[in-house]
Amino acid sequence: MEDRSHGSACVGTGPDLRTAFLHMSTPNVDNSPRAYRGCSTAVRRRGTIRTTPVADVLAIRRGRRMAGRDLPSPAQFVNLELGSDAHAGVACWSGGPTRWAQVTVACAYDQRYPQIREQMTAPVSKRAVVTIAAEMARFADRSTGRNCRPSVATLATRTGFSERTVQRARECLRLLGVATEVVRGRQRTFVERMASWRMGDRSRGWASVWALHDNQQVTRVIHILTPHLERSPLKTAISPLRRLVTTHAGARGARQGVATRRRNIDRNGQRLARTWREHPKAPPWSRKYGTGAWAAVLAAPARAGWTAEDLNAAVSEWLIGGHRISDAPPRPIGLIGAILAAYTAHNELSVRPMAYAEAAAAAEAAQRAERAIQREAERQEHARGREVGREALHGPGRAEVAAVLAAITRRRGR
C-alpha cells in the first residue's frame, strides 16, 4: 500500500447544517477534499526512541521485587517519542472513548460510508468498524484521543476479527475522517533495536500511532439535539439514536397513580449471592450490592448448582482470557452478566467451572482413604504376627526343647 493511502483528512470546514442532513439522505453529494494532516511521503515522521535510564529501571524493578509484585514489562521502558508538530492540525475527541466509538463512528459510518466505499480495498461491516474502534479507544489518551498505539495483531486478538478485517476497519476510520495515522508503523533500525535490547525489549518494529478525533460534519448534526431526543430532527436521519429514550407519547409504562409491582427476589440466586459475598476469595466489589440486587443475575447459575467457588473460577477464567477488571468496576452486576454470557458461549451452565477440579479432588480423596485402609490392614496383620510369635515363646514345643537342652547340660556335667 502506498504512503499516500495512510493517514487521515483533517476535520476542517465542512458543509452547513442543511448539507449535513443531505449527506445522510442523499448518497451522491459531492465531498470536497480536505487537507492532509497525517504521515505521508511529503511529511515523514519516524519519531525518536527514548529509553528510561538504567538506574531508574533497576530502582523500579527492585521496588517491585521487594513489594512482591510482578516485574514491569520491558516495553514500558522503551518509547517512540513523536515530534512537537506531530498533532498539528489534528483535532481531539470530545466526550470520551465511549461517545467517540458508539456515536461519532457509528454516525459517520451511516453518513459517509456509501461515498468512501469506492476508495476502500474491500468492504467492512458497521459492526466490525464500531467494535474495532471501541477497542482502539481503550489504548488512546482519555482526554484527547491521541497516542493510540495498538498493533494489528493486538486488536485482532482482543476483538476476535481477522487481521485483514482490522486493517480494513482502520482504513475505513481514516476515510471517514474520525482517525488520523500520525506516525506509520515501521521496522526498528539497528540502533533502536540495540537500545531496546538493553532494556530487555525484543520487539523488532513500531506500531502505528493514531489520533482519534471527532468529525465536524457529524458533530454539527449531533450538537443540534434538544434535551428531548425524540423531538430532534435526528430521529428521522440516524436510526441508531432513534429510540434512546422512552418519554415519547404512547410510551408503555406504569399507569398514573398506580404503583408497579415489584418482582419477587429469586431465593436460589439470593442464597448463592450470600455465600459468594461471604467467601474469603470473592472479589471486593462483590460486596458493593446486597443479595437482593445480585439475585436476578445469579438465578440461572444457582439453578444449575453453581457455588461460590464456581463464580470465583469464572472470574479467574475471564482474567486469564485477556480481559481486565478494575479494583472498583462501575457496574459489577453487568460485569458478572458479561462473564456468564462469555462462559455460556462455550459451555453449558450445567457444566460448572469447578466440576472437574472437584471430581479430581474427590478421586484423590478416595485414593487417600483407600491407601489409609490398606495401611491399617497391614498394621493389624503385623500385630497379629507379633502376637503369634509371643505365644510361641511359651508353648509346649518350647518347653520340650528347654528340657532336652537341660538334660544335655547335665550329662556334660557328669
pLDDT in tens, 71-127: 887 777 777 777 776 777 788 888 788 889 888 899 889 888 999 988 888 899 999
Give yes or no: residues 139 and 211 share one domain: yes
Give yes or no: residues 191 and 330 share one domain: no
C-alpha to C-alpha distance for 51 and 293, rounded to whole angstroms = 49
Give yes or no: residues 271 and 361 share one domain: no
Residue 246 belongs to some domain of the structure = no
Give yes or no: residues 86 and 19 share one domain: yes
Residue 257 belongs to some domain of the structure = no
Residue 219 belongs to some domain of the structure = yes
C-alpha to C-alpha distance for 26 and 7, rounded to whole angstroms = 27
Residue 215 in contact with residue 11, Cβ under 8 Å? yes
Please report, for residues 395, 397, 399, 405, the alpha-carbon distance to residue 408 in angstroms, rounded to integers and kept in the order given.
21, 17, 14, 5
Give yes or no: residues 186 and 101 share one domain: yes
Please report, for residues 46, 80, 150, 260, 337, the alpha-carbon distance to residue 186 in angstroms, rounded to integers and kept in the order given.
8, 11, 13, 61, 40
172 Cβ partners below 8 Å, 6+ apart? Answer: 109, 113, 116, 120, 124, 129
Distance from the first to the final alpha carbon of the chain: 124
Residue 189 belongs to some domain of the structure = yes
266 pLDDT exceeds 60?
yes
Give yes or no: residues 334 and 366 share one domain: no
Give yes or no: residues 313 and 385 share one domain: no
pLDDT digits (tens, 9 = 90+) for 191-206: 888 888 888 887 878 7
Give yes or no: residues 177 and 285 share one domain: no
What is the model's pLDDT at position 47?
Answer: 74
Grid cell, residue 63, equals 521496588
- Burial class for 358, CB neighbours closer than 10 Å (0-12, 13-18, 19+): middle
What is the model's pLDDT at position 136?
Answer: 92
pLDDT digits (tens, 9 = 90+) for 125-160: 999 999 999 999 999 988 888 889 898 999 999 889
351 pLDDT exceeds 60?
yes
pLDDT digits (tens, 9 = 90+) for 47-79: 777 778 888 888 888 888 888 888 887 777 777
What is the pTM for the complete model shown? 0.47
Average confidence score pLDDT of the chain: 77
Give yes or no: residues 389 and 340 share one domain: no
Give yes or no: residues 199 and 71 share one domain: yes
| Owning domain of residue 275 | 267-344
Grid cell, residue 108, equals 459517520
309 pLDDT exceeds 50?
yes
Residue 399 belongs to some domain of the structure = yes
Residue 250 belongs to some domain of the structure = no
Domain count, the chain: 3
Phi, psi at 78, each rounded to 5°: -125, 130
Give yes or no: residues 281 and 301 share one domain: yes
Give yes or no: residues 374 and 326 share one domain: no
Output the CA angle 363-369-372, nearest 5 degrees. 145
What is the model's pLDDT at position 262?
Answer: 54
